[in-house]
Amino acid sequence: MLSKTVKIAIFAVLAVLLVFLLGGIFSFDVSFLISSWQTYVVIFLYLFWRLVKAVEENRGE
């Protein structure tokens, strides 16, 4: 059984890869590419925050 932290880390990696793939498929112009990079940063920061929260929860148990 995988721990909650490992599951969230795997989900984060898969989500970022999916966003990169979709961004690569649909990035036809520079303005969209720039806005998609901002999206990547926001998603990465959110997933990193979730990972930190999960680690804190596991330490509390």
**Domain residue ranges of the chain, discontinuous segments joined by +:** 4-60
DSSP code at position 2: -
What is the per-residue pLDDT for 31? 63
Closest residue by Cα to residue 23 from 8, 44, 9, 46: 44
Residue-wise pLDDT for 5-35, tens only, equals 778 778 887 887 777 776 666 655 556 666 6
pLDDT over threshold 60, residue 53: yes
Note whether 43 and 16 are within 8 A (CB): yes
pLDDT over threshold 70, residue 38: yes
What is the per-residue pLDDT for 41? 81
What is the per-residue pLDDT for 28? 54
CA dihedral of residues 44, 33, 35, 12 (deg, nearest 10): -20
Which residues contact residue 43 at a Cβ distance below 8 angstroms, ignoring those fewer than 6 apart? 15, 16, 19
